[in-house]
Structure 1
Amino acid sequence: MLTLNSASIPMSDVLYHIEGEMHEEFPVISFSTNVYDNPADIFDSIERLAQYFQAVEFEIGEAAEEVFWQLDSEQRLALAAKIKAFTTDRGVTFTVHAGWWGRQYNLCSPDAGEQAQAIACLDAAVRFSLAAGASSVTFHPGYKDKYDNTTLLNCLITAVNRLQEQVDCRGIALCLENMGGERPKYPVFSVEEHLRFHRETGCYITIDVTHLCSLYPYGEALFDAIARLAPVTRHLHIADLRGTHHQHLPLGEGDLPLSDVLNRFAAGGYRGVAVVEEFIPKYSTAFYLEKAREYQRRLESMRHVPA
């Protein structure tokens, strides 16, 4: 297989380059409240994004995180029911990203107390997600600290299996998000370690494409990772980046052939959405939204090009 030399393609076309034909199951584009900086009005942010996208992700972060944890369990379930009624009526695919910023979410921790707190937080997020009709809930592994990957992964697997003992997770995909390069606080698991996580928990993977491409430049190593991970991946996060520099740029502002990456996931068996998620302050929320909508429109025109 030939590797794309992006320098030989006009910058405006790199984003849309696909080797071969566009797969009929090419992922639907979604957008996260994370890019909105997670407003305190959780329902309103979901409702607003549903004006533009047929799939929306809610992240328990920033102002929304504070509100979420101030609600008691009954209030959270009431909010979830309201979201489910709205998304069902509108035909919107809804997903949830659990909280991740802080020691209270450290599922990898060997400390029993810290791990128990992280399990409790994820338990609440999963119960909310189930009640809201979410198709998946994404969670981060936690912090690397001074431990090696074997210790971290063992703790993570133990934590997730304990969670599944206390809450019935049937009907939703629990997805561990892969971490990327240039972020030394967070553990980076190999492809084989992610596959081991799937085997020993029955849970799935969220692939953040930017994280993956910060470790594997566009080419054969990346293609191999996609082929191996796609069958156990149930959720995708997307952004652009330049080379392997770990930045979540607006779509079209980097040099990643993102459409080809997503097409390879579809060809490998991935069936789900691709969520524009994460941002850097240099660009406004409005710009991220504009570029995502532009990408969505162009993809729709590509889907309907006669064979």
Structure 2
Amino acid sequence: MNISDRIGISTNILDNSEYLFSSLEGLSERFRTVEIEFDNEARPYLMKPESEVNPELERVLALKESRGLYFSVHAPYIGRSTDISNPDEAQREQAVDLMKRTIRLTAKLGATRMTCHPGYLTKDPELQHMLFGQLKKSLVQLTDEASQYGIDICLENTGDKRPNYIVLNDEEQEELCTAFGVFMTMDIVHFTSFHGMDRDYYERLKPMVKWIKNVHFADMVVPNHVHLPLGSGDFKYQDAIAFLNGAGYTGNFIVEERGAKFTEADYLDAAFHYRSSLA
């Protein structure tokens, strides 16, 4: 797939993603690669009975075939019901079940990569030491499920000034990838929010490339952790994309997440303009 077609869009850019087929029908008029996020209005797809979901999935798969689309999936991450590092075993198991549902739906969509977040920090400081162990426990269960469907789980790196989310350091990320056969979704806005684009930027990024199977990007005013439409900030995202390509990365580059006061159209138009410039 050429670089232009690898520039994709997430359904989380939309004001409303309640209806999967209509969301994908609209986005695929301008993008061949789409990441489907099953959160907010779209989360009920994970809970509905198959008899309700399958007819729409058939329409989605027909659209995928007719337009030559490529899908990836982003699992839910909003709220404690998604917390696969939860120290409470019952709540962790519920989150694992939600992720397993997402894995199965990912397979039905013909996608092979599912992004998920590593979980939330606990409000009880005495339980913080348990979180990494709980995450490992969940990954044992999730990778077993994912392997049955040929799905790669991609843990997303989290950004600065998001105090509720677990931030894995490079060593922890590599340990999980090595031990469990998982990969990374590299959000380069999140990555850049910690240090900006200092002189060591690419030296820090380079060792991670072998684990990266999905990339999220947007513009930003470095190092502020706000995802902006492409061309609206001062982030040299073009250079970061060129570096990843040159280092051997061959996957997607997904524009996702909204911030500030920009509209859906602002993100979609800017992403399409950038994609077109690479064609």
TM-score computed with the length of structure 1 as normaliser: 0.84
- Amino acid across the alignment from 1:238: F
In structure 2, the residue matched to 1:165 is 144
- Amino acid across the alignment from 2:190: H
CA gap of 1:225–1:85, structure 2 versus 1, over 3 A, is farther
1:68 aligns with 2:68: no
Q: Report the Cα distance in structure 2 between the residues aligned to 1:271 and 1:154, rounded to whole angstroms.
A: 32
Q: Report the Cα distance in structure 1 between the residues aligned to 2:120 and 2:196, rounded to whole angstroms.
A: 25
The answer as to whether partners of 2:186 and 2:214 remain within 8 angstroms in 1 is yes
Unaligned runs of 5+ residues in structure 1 are: 1-23, 301-307
1:34 pairs with one of 12, 34, 45: 12
Q: What does 1:72-151 correspond to in 2, within 5 Å? A: 72-145=49-122, 146=124, 151=130
Aligned residues: 276
Q: Report the Cα distance in structure 1 between the residues aligned to 2:210 and 2:91, rounded to whole angstroms.
A: 32
Displacement, 1:226? 1.6
Partner SS for 1:207? strand
Q: Which has the higher contact order (CA 8 A, sep 6+)?
A: 1
Q: What does 1:176-255 correspond to in 2, within 5 Å? A: 176-255=155-234
1:286 pairs with one of 265, 274, 278: 265
TM-score computed with the length of structure 2 as normaliser: 0.92
Question: RMSD of the alignment, in Å?
Answer: 2.0
The answer as to whether partners of 2:4 and 2:276 remain within 8 angstroms in 1 is no
- Amino acid across the alignment from 1:105: T
Displacement, 1:61? 1.8
Q: Report the Cα distance in structure 2 between the residues aligned to 1:177 and 1:149, rounded to whole angstroms.
A: 20
CA gap of 1:226–1:44, structure 2 versus 1, over 3 A, is same
Displacement, 1:172? 2.4
CA gap of 1:103–1:193, structure 2 versus 1, over 3 A, is same
The answer as to whether partners of 2:189 and 2:218 remain within 8 angstroms in 1 is yes
Q: Report the Cα distance in structure 2 between the residues aligned to 1:78 and 1:202, rounded to whole angstroms.
A: 33
Q: Report the Cα distance in structure 2 between the residues aligned to 1:137 and 1:102, rounded to whole angstroms.
A: 18
CA gap of 1:168–1:74, structure 2 versus 1, over 3 A, is farther
CA gap of 1:122–1:70, structure 2 versus 1, over 3 A, is closer
Displacement, 1:171? 2.6
The answer as to whether partners of 2:38 and 2:75 remain within 8 angstroms in 1 is yes
Q: Structure 1, residues 6-54: CA drift from partner, whole Å, max 9, x if none?
A: xxxxxxxxxxxxxxxxxx8688210111010342111110111000011
Q: What does 1:12-23 correspond to in 2, within 5 Å? A: none
The answer as to whether partners of 2:255 and 2:271 remain within 8 angstroms in 1 is yes
Q: Structure 1, residues 153-191: CA drift from partner, whole Å, max 9, x if none?
A: 221121011123345345322111110001000011111
Partner SS for 1:168? helix
CA gap of 1:196–1:80, structure 2 versus 1, over 3 A, is farther
Partner SS for 2:14? coil
Q: Report the Cα distance in structure 2 between the residues aligned to 1:149 and 1:220, rounded to whole angstroms.
A: 33
Q: Report the Cα distance in structure 1 between the residues aligned to 2:270 and 2:3, rounded to whole angstroms.
A: 22
Partner SS for 2:147? coil
Deviates more, 1:219-228 or 1:185-194: 219-228
Q: Report the Cα distance in structure 1 between the residues aligned to 2:50 and 2:134, rounded to whole angstroms.
A: 27
Q: Report the Cα distance in structure 1 between the residues aligned to 2:158 and 2:165, rounded to whole angstroms.
A: 7
- Higher percent of residues as helix: 2
Displacement, 1:219? 2.9
